[in-house]
Amino acid sequence: MSEVTTQQFLEIDKIKEGVIILKNKQLRGVLMVSSLNFALKEEDEQKAIIYQFQDFLNSLDFSLQMIVQSRKLNITRYFDSLKELEQKQENEMLRNQMIEYRRFIQDFISKGDIMSKNFFVVVPFIPVFQGSPEKESLFKKPTIPKLTEESFKQAKRQLLQRMEFIALGLRRCSLQSVMLGSADLIELFWSLHHPEQAEFGYYPEIPPELIN
């Protein structure tokens, strides 16, 4: 009996040049987007941001996905570094201040978990060669087209155009964005499936050829 791996249940075929290639040969690009403290804005500025975002959504002629990732922030390493500084500190007054500071932080986080939030926009693109999908059959699997190097390059260019359009629309809403590269995407998906290891800052080693 063959061993079943997690990868067999994922829709991702590979990650190439900062682009996600699905098993059905559709492409996906991911933008990481900055946050905005909306509550601190003046009322007129809030309305302006809402109208800009509404115009941005109405300008789209393709679908996209917005994702909010919440992750528990682990500061064990930070505490370890504070302890090392305490031991090396020769000034008794400064050492006592560092001890009090560390106790204050420990007491603060003991009252609740500290969460970090990341915001992403997933932009899709279906290569033209794919055409209309073949109807599924109980006895025959739909044919998956072959994604050649030339067709990949063409599809990637059009995907990047979409992502540039999205980035421009977000800037008008006072939001900055950056496209994730291959290494960033690998770390993102790995952290989604290994949240406990990611919480402690552990990530798998990524081959140099994927860092772009």
Contact 15, 192 (CB under 8 A): no
More confident residue, 105 or 67: 67
CA 175 from chain centre, in angstroms, equals 15
Range 24-35 average pLDDT: 93
pLDDT mean over 60-79: 81
Cα–Cα distance for residue pair 140/142, rounded to 1 Å? 6
Question: What is the model's pLDDT at position 208?
Answer: 56
pLDDT of residue 138: 47
* Contacts (Cβ under 8 Å, ≥6 apart) of 14: 21
Q: What is the spatial distance between Cα 29 and Cα 15, in angstroms, rounded to a whole number?
A: 10
The residue ranges of every structural domain in the chain are 6-72+118-210, 74-112
pLDDT tens-digit map of 167-212: 999 999 989 999 999 888 888 888 777 666 665 555 566 655 555 5
Q: How far apart are the first and last CA of the chain?
A: 38
Could you give the angle at which helices 92-110 and 76-88 cross, rounded to 10 degrees?
Answer: 160
User: Which pLDDT band holds residue 161 (cuts at 50, 70, 90)?
Assistant: very high
Question: Mean pLDDT across the stretch 139-146?
Answer: 59
Give the residue, 150 or 70, on which the prediction is more confident. 150
Q: Tell me, what's the pLDDT at 44?
A: 93
pTM of the model: 0.70
Mean pLDDT over residues 135-158, rounded?
Answer: 73
